[in-house]
Amino acid sequence: MSMLTIRQKGTLLKQFFRAKFSHTSTPLALRWNITSRCHNSCLYCNNHKLNRHPDLELKEIEKITQKILKLKIARLSISGGEPLLSPHFDYIVRFCKNHRISPIINSSGQYFAENLNTLKLLDLIQFSIDGDHELMNTVRGGKAALYLQQAIELAQKEKIKFSFCATLSKHNTNLKTIDYLLDLATHYKTVVAFQPIKRVYLKEAEFAEHAPRAIEMQKVVTHLLEKKRSPHSSAAIRNTELGLQHLLAWPHYGDLPCMAGKLFFVIQADGTCVACDRTDYNQNLHAINFIESDLESVLQKMRTPLCEGCGFCGNLELAHLFHFKYQVLHTLRKIA
């Protein structure tokens, strides 16, 4: 599922080699949480527990985009909160298009119709999904399933590319739901990325409540690995085989080095940046003001956090890429 142009891939390759041989942060990928607002409170997410910051002013957004330009990234991953709630969503996507940066988003699908014209400009929408309608409503609350269904139908009608992202919690880590998700992706000729629940800051207590048992995770991941290795059923699985192997050890991952702060970092809704916002401690103690700081000093100060590890596809693929695992070229096509 590659939407990068040859020129963007060339830039990516150059950046990669610079990163490989430099001690300073050289981001190939960047996630920008463009708003902290979200009307959901999904069981495993800490967004509603964090201090909500009012959306930035347009002049602050402009300062951020000017700095992003200097980073020469090929792709910008736009997230939140719910990114479709940001008043600057259209401005940011058009900025990307005007500067040949490939824009992709993570979204719950809510507010899709209201943002349709902008959504048509995206290279990819990654819809978050947990399972069937009943399960979606349990995990995400309210009318989550209905909003997602409507968004999927509209995306399909308007030929907007989309894929699915499933957070593996105790609610969906079973073969029935996994096969439901794979069938759904196959039906829409797309893929699902499976990412285990992560213990995150201010949701530590709820982690035990919503995490599956290790044996359930192993069963599901083994099932995915078998399907991934079969030429007839691998197409709907976004994870690489190496990535799935890494997930077998959940929740105590092996020692694959983390690429946060080295190959990617995250710009937060308040205009600060951190290496990663998904750790189990307050990363904000290390946050750097992205709007006002000089870019060189941001890159020099950025440090890979101490973290128990994770199963996020983007991090795993960058880590495997960094260590020249055999799927490097395949990974370059999909980098997010």
Binding residues (CB under 6 A) for ligand SAM: these are: 38, 44-45, 47, 79-80, 82, 106-108, 128, 165, 167, 195, 197-198, 200
Residue 315 contact, options ligand SAM, ligand SF4, none, Cβ 5-8 Å cut-off depending on partner type: ligand SF4
26, 35, 74, 81: which one binds ligand SF4 (CB under 6 A): 81
Place of tokens 């290390």: 286
3-state secondary structure of 28: coil
What's the CA gap between 129 and 150, in Å, rounded? 13
The pattern of x and - marking residues 33 through 52 that bind ligand SF4 according to CB under 6 A reads -----x-xxx--x-xx----
Residue 276 contact, options ligand SF4, ligand SAM, none, Cβ 5-8 Å cut-off depending on partner type: ligand SF4
Here the tokens at position 207 are 């982690």
The pattern of x and - marking residues 229 through 258 that bind ligand SF4 according to CB under 6 A reads -----------------------------x
Burial class (CB in 10 A: 0-12, 13-18, 19+), 324: exposed
CB-based contacts of 97, cutoff 8 Å, min separation 6: 103, 121
Quick check: 193 and 165 in contact, CB under 8 A?
Answer: yes
Residue 191 contact, options ligand SAM, ligand SF4, none, Cβ 5-8 Å cut-off depending on partner type: none
Burial class (CB in 10 A: 0-12, 13-18, 19+), 237: buried
Quick check: 143 and 39 in contact, CB under 8 A?
Answer: no
Residue 197 contact, options ligand SF4, ligand SAM, none, Cβ 5-8 Å cut-off depending on partner type: ligand SAM
68, 168, 307, 332: which one binds ligand SF4 (CB under 6 A): 307
3-state secondary structure of 143: coil
What's the CA gap between 36 and 55, in Å, rounded? 8
Nearer to ligand SF4, 37 or 227 (CB): 37
Nearest to 64 by CA among 321, 283, 272, 222: 272
User: Binders of ligand SF4 among 169-188, rule CB under 6 A?
Assistant: none
Residues near ligand SF4, by CB under 6 A: 38, 40-42, 45, 47-48, 80-82, 108, 128, 140, 198, 258, 260, 276, 278-279, 305, 307, 309-310, 312, 315
